[in-house]
Structure 1
């Protein structure tokens, strides 16, 4: 899959391998490939390339429950057979070219067929991934009618006439699926709603720096949308997506049976957007696209994969996660661990004066939020820690614990800087942040006269942000002066 090898995506939540394997086994195309592998025997004949001979396609279609005389059944049988061969569910012996046109090869069930019922979930999923590769390759091929028209005198495909570049087509489809994956994990989640086809097409065609697409670009969006409509029809039977095709009545409403330029790109705001097609990655589809991304060198984390890692690896990773995904990862990490020891490990990992320290402490605080009385001893142990003492006092006070020592001024100001630095790192300059700044400064007289002296690596950075964001103009001016002092002090 084409992708930036150093890109990092939001974490995805996936079902267990066992559940995913069950989804794979009932995917219509994969299930048909399994049935044909069991059907194959001594009388099965194949051509060069392992394809079933034409005379056997009706019999294969009947084995799948289709009418033997139905042309569509023969097409579906041919596709399922190709998947069976490519995945190793069927072993074929191709005919020898020297034996003449009358000779044909043979096919028998492959050794991998036994994995369907006797293999581990991971082995079943490996078979499904191989099937997915076959289907993706098929989906990248243009209409066969166009291929026939593009044959040259020697029977070879004239790619220039066809205007088809196999690598370019494969990269386009990979890019579409990568964008669909990102939209799913970043905005909707695995159980979220479908993505309008025009949105997906526009993401591949309209340059990010183009504020107003031209008519030519909008026409490209419409063309890409119809291309995707055909490709997702092919990808749905393997269980990759749930797809609602473009409404055929919509196509009939146009004079030339093509979408008018701009209609597809503008459909996202229309109440009838579903008529232009909707697509959603299934949980199995998320698994499959993630597997291809990992193979391409893309960092595509999944919730739960840090469960056996140390607290330092956990906090470093979830510092870059959205809050919900971070909480889910933390919960899985805590499962099965002795809570007092786990809390102590989390607190130790939260220390540090590096740039990531504030956000690690915020995620640590998030991890400790649901902890009960059994965590109290570990939290009390860091009351005197200059970096964790404020966090510990907040946690103990929220639970009404007695004898919590009051923090001194230095700790209060240090915790304030750390908290704002963490919020900036987690969410950027949100609309809520000025209100937090106003609340913090309102409770401390002479706040800016003291805070610039705080021994925190983010002091100047936080004060500069307060100078930009504080809703009170006078306080914002004081923050800018304090930031200058802090920068001077640091240098």
Structure 2
């Protein structure tokens, strides 16, 4: 069952959303135009894997390319793929006479014919008079793919092949610009849907630092992550982060974006951030974090912190009491931690 989704609504107001949607169709050309049943599935898979090189030649040529030239390149690339897989015959070999009677894979001309028809069907190229030419849209899509490969190849910290959680841990020590570059490289090596799922899974863990970093990476993803982020708004541990992310995507003023959170959600986020600082930062950062609370006084902050029910409340208060230089304030914080721990008032 198919129904209109948020992407269709985005197309009415966002040209880049239209282009992203078309790139998804471009990526799926072999599904939009399925191979005939008489073509061997293994041979079809090889051609699909080899077509990026064919498209790159079309893009570099910036004009019509004769089909025989494309066929030569396709033949070379398929041979390279088979060599990379070390497809060397082993064991008893069939009798040559019997092999001659065995049906062979579909010839490459038939496979190339199918591939060109498929790419023409999604508007990536035109094909007539024995020549193929990328459309302007097709040329742009190939350029986008090449740019993504280049970005992935320039990963500054080398986390491309790691899972989201390990990548985020590695980026925790980087400066913001360097971390964003690493996020872009990591994202370029994955499908958007898979990357967003990985990041949200990492955000659900116990490490509050990874939660914040995961949403920083999702900011690099941008609008394509909107549906998945909107779906986690009702999860208590992700709600404040998701609401802030969505407000930013909708164009809220950076100075006012925090207004989308209730007082309780703001306090919960303060505790979560304090937990990240307590686990990974210096004690002075935790003391300075106290100044970022929206509550006008420490007693008011402690009162609201006790009520929000964050699972790390006791640890955060104990760490804050140990770090704060004011003995009276530290004592009040320790008392609040004890009350949360015992369930008292």
TM-score when scaled to structure 2?
Answer: 0.44
Higher RCO (CA < 8 A, seq sep 6+): 1
**Higher-Rg member (1/2):** 1
TM-score when scaled to structure 1?
Answer: 0.32
